[in-house]
C-alpha cells in the first residue's frame, strides 16, 4: 500500500475525477504557503501568535459567465473521520480559511504564486472541501452546517467562502461519472459547456461554448449542461437536478425556469438527470402531474405540449462504491 499520497496527488486526482468534468482548471502549484500581511491574524491556542503565512492546498479556476472575470478558488482540502466532522472542527476550518482569503485578496505574493496577471480582472474565494475518509458519515452535511453560526467569521466585506461536504462530493463525483458514461455511449459529444443565459440585470460574457460550471451552480438546484449533436443524441441540454422532486409545484417552478431560459424549443433534446439521493420514489408521476398543470396554466397548444412530453427524466446511476480519492496525505 502506498504510504504517502501527498496533497499534490490528491489534488490531481480530484481535478481529474471531479472538477475537470465541470471544465475547471487546476493550478499546477500545490501545497504552498503565502505570506500573511495582517497582524490581526493569529494562531489558535493559549498564547495566540501572529501568523506568518497562510496555507494553500490547491487553487482551481474558471471564467465566471456573469462577472466576466476569472474566479480563483483557494481550496482547503480536509479529510475527517466521521467523529471529527463536528461543528467546532468545522468552525476552526472556516475561521482559518476566512483569514486566508482576507489576506489572499490583497496579496501580491499570492498573485505571483498563482500566476495572476497584473491586468487580469479576478476574484479570489475560499473553497472548503470536506472529505470523510471512513465513509461512516451518513448524515446531511448541510444540517451540521446549519447548526453553526457562520455570521461572525473574520471574513472581510465582499469575501465569499464555498464549501463542499461528503454528500456534495459524492454527488459531484456521480455527475462526473454520468458525463463519462453518456459520452461513452455517444449520447453526449466530447465538447460541451454549461449554460448561463442572459439575465435581466446582467448579461453573459464570452461565447458560452466551453463555459465552465460555476461553483454556485454545482451546489445550486439545477446544473444545466449544453451540448451539440452526437452519434446517439440531438443537440440540447442535460440538466442535473439536485432537488427532491417532492411536489408538482417544485417541478412546475423548474419547468417555468426552463421556459424563462428559452430552452423549451422543438429541436432541443432535454434530459433531466436527478442527482438527489433522497429524491421521491414517485418521481416520474410527480413530474407528469407538473407537466399537465403547467400546460394547463399556460394554455399551451399541442405543439408546445409535445415539447414538454419529449422531456426525459431519469435518476443518474449512483456510483456504488463511495468516492475516496486516497487516504493519506490529507490535512486534518
Partner 1 sequence: MTKRLHGPSLYYASDKNVFDALNQHKVDTKTIMELFERRNIVVSKKTPRESLAAYFARQIYDYQDHKDIAARLGIAPRRERITSMDVNGKVDHSHLQVAVDQLKVELESSGEVVQVTRESNKVTITVQYSTMDYKVSEFAQRQERDGTIELIKTADGYTVRNTHNEFVDNVAAELITKLEKASETTLSKVTVSLFDVPTAQLRSKFFHELAFKLPGYQQSDVTAVYVFKAKPELHGNDEEDDEDDDTADGETHVERVHLRGRGVTRSEILNELLEKDDYYITKIAWGAREIAGAGHDYDIEATFTNPKDCNGFSFILSGVYPFEDGQLSTRRRPPLKHEIDEISRVVENKARELVTLLREEFKKANAGEEDAN
Q: Which is nearer to partner 1, 56 or 245 (CB)?
A: 245
For residues 19 and 32, give the distance between their C-alpha atoms in angstroms, rounded to a whole number. 20
Site string for partner 1, 175-204 (x = CB under 8 A): ------------------------xxxx--
Taking CB under 8 A as the rule, does residue 80 contact partner 1?
A: no
Number of residues that bind partner 1 (CB under 8 A): 54
For residues 160 and 124, give the distance between their C-alpha atoms in angstroms, rounded to a whole number. 8
Q: Which is nearer to partner 1, 111 or 125 (CB)?
A: 125
Residue 294 C-beta: closest distance to partner 1, Å:
8
- Cβ atoms < 10 Å from Cβ of 82: 15
Selected from 256, 264, 327, 331, the binder of partner 1 by CB under 8 A is 256
- Cβ atoms < 10 Å from Cβ of 309: 11
Taking CB under 8 A as the rule, does residue 167 contact partner 1?
A: no
- Give residue 75's Cα distance to chain centre: 13
Selected from 10, 161, 311, 313, the binder of partner 1 by CB under 8 A is 161
Taking CB under 8 A as the rule, does residue 250 contact partner 1?
A: yes
Residue 295 C-beta: closest distance to partner 1, Å:
8
Selected from 5, 23, 150, 279, the binder of partner 1 by CB under 8 A is 150
Q: Which is nearer to partner 1, 72 or 254 (CB)?
A: 254
What own/partner pairs with CB < 8 Å and gap ≥ 24 does 52-57 have?
Answer: 54/96, 54/99, 54/100, 54/103, 54/104, 55/31, 55/100, 55/331, 56/29, 56/31, 56/32, 56/100, 56/110, 56/113, 57/7, 57/11, 57/30, 57/31, 57/331
Taking CB under 8 A as the rule, does residue 88 contact partner 1?
A: no
Query: Residue 213 gets which letter from DSSP?
Result: P
Confirm if 76 and 162 have CB atoms less than 8 A apart.
Answer: no
Confirm if 86 and 148 have CB atoms less than 8 A apart.
Answer: no
Taking CB under 8 A as the rule, does residue 283 contact partner 1?
A: no
Q: Which element (helix H / strand E) includes 197? A: none
Taking CB under 8 A as the rule, does residue 234 contact partner 1?
A: no
Selected from 186, 216, 278, 314, the binder of partner 1 by CB under 8 A is 216
Confirm if 250 and 243 have CB atoms less than 8 A apart.
Answer: yes
Taking CB under 8 A as the rule, does residue 99 contact partner 1?
A: no
Selected from 252, 307, 308, 330, the binder of partner 1 by CB under 8 A is 252
Confirm if 262 and 271 have CB atoms less than 8 A apart.
Answer: no
Q: Return residues touching partner 1 (CB under 8 A).
A: 66, 94, 142, 145-146, 150-153, 155-165, 168, 199-202, 216-217, 219-222, 224, 243, 247-250, 252-254, 256-257, 259-260, 289-290, 292-299
Amino acid at each position: 500500500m502506498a504510504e504517502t499520497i501527498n496533497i499534490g496527488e490528491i489534488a490531481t486526482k480530484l481535478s481529474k475525477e471531479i472538477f475537470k468534468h465541470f471544465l475547471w482548471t487546476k493550478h499546477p502549484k500545490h501545497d504552498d504557503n503565502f505570506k500573511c500581511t495582517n497582524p490581526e491574524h493569529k494562531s489558535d491556542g493559549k498564547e495566540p501568535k501572529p501568523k506568518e503565512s497562510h496555507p494553500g492546498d490547491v487553487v482551481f479556476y474558471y471564467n465566471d459567465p456573469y462577472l466576466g472575470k476569472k474566479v480563483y478558488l483557494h481550496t482547503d482540502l480536509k479529510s475527517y473521520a466521521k467523529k471529527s466532522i463536528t461543528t467546532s472542527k468545522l468552525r476552526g476550518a472556516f475561521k482559518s480559511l476566512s483569514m486566508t482569503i482576507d489576506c489572499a485578496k490583497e496579496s501580491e505574493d499570492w498573485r505571483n504564486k498563482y500566476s495572476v496577471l497584473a491586468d487580469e480582472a479576478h476574484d479570489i474565494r475560499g473553497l472548503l472541501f470536506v472529505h470523510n475518509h471512513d465513509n461512516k458519515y451518513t448524515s446531511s452535511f448541510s444540517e451540521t452546517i446549519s447548526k453553526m453560526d457562520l455570521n461572525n467569521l473574520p471574513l472581510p466585506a465582499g469575501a465569499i467562502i464555498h464549501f463542499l461536504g461528503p454528500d456534495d462530493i459524492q454527488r459531484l463525483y456521480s455527475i462526473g461519472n454520468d458525463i463519462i458514461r453518456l459520452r461513452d455511449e455517444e449520447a453526449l459529444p466530447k465538447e460541451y459547456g454549461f449554460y448561463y443565459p442572459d439575465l435581466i440585470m446582467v448579461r453573459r460574457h464570452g461565447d458560452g461554448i466551453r463555459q465552465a460550471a460555476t461553483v454556485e451552480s454545482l451546489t445550486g438546484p439545477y446544473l444545466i449542461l449544453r451540448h451539440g449533436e452526437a452519434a446517439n443524441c440531438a443537440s440540447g441540454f442535460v440538466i442535473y437536478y439536485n432537488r427532491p422532486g417532492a411536489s408538482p409545484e417544485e417541478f412546475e417552478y423548474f419547468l417555468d425556469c426552463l421556459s424563462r431560459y428559452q430552452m423549451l424549443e422543438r429541436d432541443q433534446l432535454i434530459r433531466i438527470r436527478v442527482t438527489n439521493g433522497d429524491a421521491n420514489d414517485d418521481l416520474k408521476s410527480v413530474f407528469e402531474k407538473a407537466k399537465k398543470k403547467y400546460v394547463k396554466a399556460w394554455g399551451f397548444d399541442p405543439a408546445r405540449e409535445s415539447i414538454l412530453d419529449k422531456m426525459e427524466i431519469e435518476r443518474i446511476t449512483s456510483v456504488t462504491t463511495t468516492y475516496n480519492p486516497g487516504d493519506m496525505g490529507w490535512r486534518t
